[in-house]
Structure 1
């Protein structure tokens, strides 16, 4: 006969099983139904219906119903009993279906890969494949070339000649890959299992920023998440309730403090003062060589990020440093090594960019208000009311996510958790707003980097976790069944259940989130999608560039139109996919009167032979929605150009047209512009070689200290050895900083 302890716990488990079982069966049965209802009606979708509100206008009603079922089905999967392999598989299936349904929609519907900048990045890869070099004089991104070099090496390895399938499916693959390190990261926090899964689902459902296309930013966010997951898995620092404060260079060990001096003691009480639980699980025990291997992996991840993106390394460095300061990371020397790496790369390899763009790099430093204004209100520039509504929807969507994260943080605090680590991951990216506007995109990038922590905290608004819902404080790393001190299974607490109210809340709010995602993510689809006729028009320009290349080292010019040529630097067309170095793209003022062509043709004439003018539907939509030009402006412009005497039509189609001047319209100078300089020439300073040597010595010294600390902890160090190492490190840092300052001063 079962004892009283076992008998008292069994009825609660039996009562919980039927409801969870019904939810699991319902989620399993609904999975194929939701997928079919979402995807099958999309056959024959008319993309011409895409308008000011984006792709959602072209979707059938049945697909929108299927979209709502994605949220309902995932809510039922969350209600299934946690901890079983079948439940994990069910939740993973719903999560992946959501990823594919949201981020794979354009890949299935649209005939060409979307987003013009993705095509340009494909051209960078093509250039590396053809030449084996970089072109630091042509684009700032060539100063951080590792992403393009790695993509070119992968293309050569797999003998793939066409990059367009990669451009098409990159958002889906990237979003799915994000979930792997994100799941590892979330498991490091002391939160209920349902909050982990809901956080993963929210991450893919509220990530409207659109930086998952084929780009260095998408790859670097993956590196950033992998870095944080490894860091918190193996180097979660000492908690406020115990452990010595980590030091940059440890000295001789001292005796343990007396009980009367122990941190947390309250002289007014007989026992220690209660403190919030840390909210993050301690690092797993790692052998010395394993610790060194993990540190090396972290540095390799950061080195790859440093060599491939301008912004991400600084966010990763700031986050790691904040965790060290908050005593949530035991790898106290890691931020110093990272800072040396990123400053060294910027000073030397990044010189082709900053030597001519100092104002762009440091001009916005400290101007938080101006940077926020540029990133937010600067995007509402008097376009159509519908387009402004999309922009406001994005802002509201972002504010709602952050507000829900704040609610989750408050509920976690009331449940007895101190989430310094999560709050650091959430708040540190906002410091980037004090650095620069990043071309008006800094607010979006801040949201992107804060999103992992925001999504988990938002999930904790529903399931904050309590002392009864997670492992006991005496065993915070336990992943097994919860047990009371007497060995009896512990009943679920108020934050762990998934009753009808929780299911309804997730289902209804999730349906609203998915609908808002379609508007926020694809609200600009009228000009962010690429049409087949636009690809055909660009192919004609590529062929012209190849003909000029066959005749000599010349280039062609392609003129595109925008009302703001000084600030609008990205044309809405599949540009730069080939002949990266042989086509110069010139932004020209778009005339308000599409029949007034005099100034436009004079510009084409002044640029010389082999100059072409392109007008395409995506650019028309951009000018109409963002700047308020009439909706038929582009059609009237193309008609006027086709009828203009002295203008020759190269390509004419419903999506795009390319024009140039007749042979007798060119001036007396018929010289084709020569091939531009590809490599930026940056001089050296008297102490540049010294700086390079000191750079290597710094990294070597930090590595030696780390090896000694990992493998020789049992050997006490003398005070003289400690201070000698500290003095050497300080001296090397001082010399390195002086050389970097010299380079910026003399080469700017």
Structure 2
């Protein structure tokens, strides 16, 4: 009788747990469905023409914020009840990525960033000529590292896509990039810990930390994915099962440099396949980007020192990089390598040139700039706290530290300029996110587990706000209206070799078609003395420029996004470009040849006489 009673109670507990599991699954599914639906309904309510200096957040309706809160809450509950709803974490993360990265292409309807349009210009060049021109003087680095562009051109030819069709697809590139990143990082993080809460929390934090806009349609976005893929292989099937503690050189090292990744079950065919894919990834990286191979080489060198990874992998990476520099990219390196070598170590000198002086810009721009800095600073602070917690709890962290430090070595060994700081942060952000997750979830059996969830929820909400400000806060100048795209399309369709194109600023859909026919002269980049003369008498200055016998044609283009860019950054006084347009319209030396509500194109009158 007692045995039967115990069986009955056990059965009732099992049924209760099963029923509660069903209820939790239904609630989670309903919550994520509602989060997706209210986000989707918020899109038609978001008016991109109303953007101000605070960027995207200035036009987002309450439905969007409700969706952010709900999907974040579902993710936190997914962490808590991971054994009951294991699907909730990836589902919530996917929806979160859509919220962060799919909102802008769906609302704006066009490709952001002028440099993304410039990348399409290289693809257009390859489509028209069948390859690159390694001695091309303009955008020569792209022609000498054409891997990304060649792949894009082959895909575009196969799908019969022109520049505008490519731009229409490329606007969703950040969505695809970030999905690939979190998939690969999930595999990497699992080599550092078996605490799944840390893994998933780190992926969520990385999605917020990745605000610097390096995941758009670009060579660095592809190279970054290949970099993570190479690390996945080196931490997985390519990592020997031999423990590092057998190496005599490291017997006296402290505990915190112990090998963290688990031993992998290797086989001959798996190793051969992994080596093949590793070589493929390295070739793709060295053929597409200049900075990423260096970071990969430093990272693999660290793994070969602090882990039993074969030194052949960093050697292979360096050899591939050297081969590319001295042979395929020889036309570029023969001209620029001496200068690059002379400037080694000067990267930090260019940092200040990339840092916005918030005292000279509009309040909204200053808030946006400081939001990005605050987000990065908060993640670095959390990561430091997580690292200290790892040491206190005697957790092996050397591998993560190596991968975190390796990108920073590029600062002292290249002259890449201030832009390198943002790229390096991009490469450091996954490992900063990992340590930040450790800070919030230090131990699966911690007594303060409930407090971890309570603290995590508001932190990720603030991080989401920081991302939207940092990544989308400058969208007033980075977003281009359909009218601006139409004007640029008309302009580049008229091109002929030897055309001088005077631009108000580079912030518009530029150089995406027939780009080699133009010589570009952005007004905003002129020296202060020359800029003052342009502001005072633009028609006279431009007439002098176009009178040069080198030019076979000449245009001036001014757009809404150009005005937003120069005025927001304080390059020229507000209204300067409006006055410039009026002066050109009043001058007999210029003809207004194209106009819509967001763009005007003028042509020098002297060139119309030859038609």
Relative to the length of structure 1, the TM-score reads 0.74
Cα distance in structure 1, aligned partners of 2:257 and 2:421: 32
Q: Deviations over 1:506-558 (max 9, x none)?
A: 2211111111111000011011111122112212222211xx4xxxxx33221
1:216 aligns with: 219
Q: Mind listing any 5+ residue stretches in structure 1 that lack a counterpart?
A: 3-8, 247-261, 265-272, 470-492, 549-553, 563-570, 673-748
Q: Deviations over 1:380-401 (max 9, x none)?
A: 5833233123222211111111
Task: Note closer, same or farther for the CA distance 1:60–1:420 as it changes in structure 2 (3 Å cut).
Answer: same
Which of 542, 547, 556 is matched with 1:600 structurally?
A: 542
Confirm or deny: 8 A CA contact 2:360 2:569 kept in the other structure. Answer: yes
Confirm or deny: 8 A CA contact 2:386 2:438 kept in the other structure. Answer: yes
Cα distance in structure 1, aligned partners of 2:415 and 2:459: 33
2:114 aligns with: 116
Q: Please tell me whether residue 510 in structure 1 is matched to residue 453 in structure 2.
A: no
2:280 aligns with: 300
Q: Secondary structure at the match of 2:494?
A: helix
Task: Note closer, same or farther for the CA distance 1:263–1:44 as it changes in structure 2 (3 Å cut).
Answer: closer
2:481 aligns with: 531
Task: Note closer, same or farther for the CA distance 1:330–1:612 as it changes in structure 2 (3 Å cut).
Answer: same
Q: Secondary structure at the match of 2:569?
A: helix
Confirm or deny: 8 A CA contact 1:235 1:283 kept in the other structure. Answer: no
Q: Which segment drifts farther, 352-361 or 190-199?
A: 352-361
Cα distance in structure 2, aligned partners of 1:339 and 1:332: 11
Q: Which segment drifts farther, 582-591 or 146-155?
A: 582-591
2:320 aligns with: 341
Which of 475, 494, 499 is matched with 1:556 structurally?
A: 499
Task: Note closer, same or farther for the CA distance 1:407–1:57 as it changes in structure 2 (3 Å cut).
Answer: same
Q: Which segment drifts farther, 452-461 or 273-282?
A: 273-282
1:541 aligns with: 491
Higher relative helix content: 2
Task: Note closer, same or farther for the CA distance 1:387–1:115 as it changes in structure 2 (3 Å cut).
Answer: same
Q: Deviations over 1:655-690 (max 9, x none)?
A: 111111213898xxx8x9xxxxxxxxxxxxxxxxxx
Aligned residues: 592
Q: Which segment drifts farther, 597-606 or 448-457?
A: 597-606
Q: Deviations over 1:351-383 (max 9, x none)?
A: 2222222365234322364244344x4665833
Shift of 1:24: 5.1
Q: Please tell me whether residue 586 in structure 1 is matched to residue 521 in structure 2.
A: yes
Q: Deviations over 1:392-420 (max 9, x none)?
A: 22111111111111111111221221210
Which of 131, 134, 139 is matched with 1:133 structurally?
A: 131
2:600 aligns with: 657
Cα distance in structure 2, aligned partners of 1:25 and 1:664: 69
Shift of 1:457: 1.3
Task: Note closer, same or farther for the CA distance 1:189–1:463 as it changes in structure 2 (3 Å cut).
Answer: same
Cα distance in structure 1, aligned partners of 2:322 and 2:244: 36
Task: Note closer, same or farther for the CA distance 1:274–1:436 as it changes in structure 2 (3 Å cut).
Answer: closer
Q: Please tell me whether residue 432 in structure 1 is matched to residue 410 in structure 2.
A: yes
1:56 aligns with: 57
Shift of 1:295: 2.0
Q: Secondary structure at the match of 1:135?
A: coil
2:144 aligns with: 143
Which of 414, 426, 435 is matched with 1:448 structurally?
A: 426
Q: Mind listing any 5+ residue stretches in structure 2 that lack a counterpart?
A: 4-9
Shift of 1:305: 0.5
| Aligned pairs for 1:226-245 within 5 A | 226-236=229-239, 242-244=245-247
Cα distance in structure 1, aligned partners of 2:513 and 2:424: 32
Cα distance in structure 2, aligned partners of 1:128 and 1:72: 47
Cα distance in structure 2, aligned partners of 1:455 and 1:437: 27
Shift of 1:441: 0.9
| Aligned pairs for 1:307-322 within 5 A | 307-322=287-302
Cα distance in structure 1, aligned partners of 2:195 and 2:579: 60
Cα distance in structure 2, aligned partners of 1:576 and 1:584: 10
Q: Secondary structure at the match of 2:593?
A: strand
Shift of 1:617: 1.1
Shift of 1:282: 2.9
Relative to the length of structure 2, the TM-score reads 0.89
Shift of 1:25: 4.9
Which of 75, 90, 100 is matched with 1:102 structurally?
A: 100
Confirm or deny: 8 A CA contact 1:23 1:77 kept in the other structure. Answer: no
Confirm or deny: 8 A CA contact 2:210 2:426 kept in the other structure. Answer: yes
1:479 aligns with: none
Shift of 1:243: 2.7
2:228 aligns with: 225
| Aligned pairs for 1:136-175 within 5 A | 136=134, 137=136, 138-139=138-139, 140-161=141-162, 162-175=165-178
1:741 aligns with: none
Shift of 1:74: 1.3
Q: Please tell me whether residue 402 in structure 1 is matched to residue 343 in structure 2.
A: no
1:645 aligns with: 588
1:411 aligns with: 389
Cα distance in structure 1, aligned partners of 2:267 and 2:521: 58
Confirm or deny: 8 A CA contact 1:107 1:169 kept in the other structure. Answer: yes
2:556 aligns with: 613
Confirm or deny: 8 A CA contact 2:296 2:317 kept in the other structure. Answer: no
Shift of 1:434: 1.3
Shift of 1:107: 0.8
Which of 326, 329, 332 is matched with 1:350 structurally?
A: 329
Q: Deviations over 1:70-99 (max 9, x none)?
A: 2222111111133x6xx2321111010001
Based on CA coordinates, which of the two structures has the bigger radius of gyration? 1
Task: Note closer, same or farther for the CA distance 1:132–1:662 as it changes in structure 2 (3 Å cut).
Answer: same
What's the C-alpha RMSD, in Å, of the aligned pairs? Answer: 3.1
Q: Which segment drifts farther, 22-31 or 97-106?
A: 22-31
Task: Note closer, same or farther for the CA distance 1:47–1:613 as it changes in structure 2 (3 Å cut).
Answer: same
Q: Secondary structure at the match of 1:112?
A: coil
Shift of 1:210: 0.8
1:364 aligns with: 343
Q: Secondary structure at the match of 2:500?
A: strand
Cα distance in structure 1, aligned partners of 2:357 and 2:517: 32
Shift of 1:279: 6.1
Cα distance in structure 2, aligned partners of 1:53 and 1:371: 26
Shift of 1:642: 1.5
Shift of 1:179: 1.7
1:457 aligns with: 435
Cα distance in structure 2, aligned partners of 1:187 and 1:383: 44
Confirm or deny: 8 A CA contact 1:114 1:530 kept in the other structure. Answer: yes
Shift of 1:595: 5.3
Shift of 1:608: 3.2
Task: Note closer, same or farther for the CA distance 1:445–1:14 as it changes in structure 2 (3 Å cut).
Answer: farther
1:710 aligns with: none
Confirm or deny: 8 A CA contact 1:223 1:302 kept in the other structure. Answer: yes
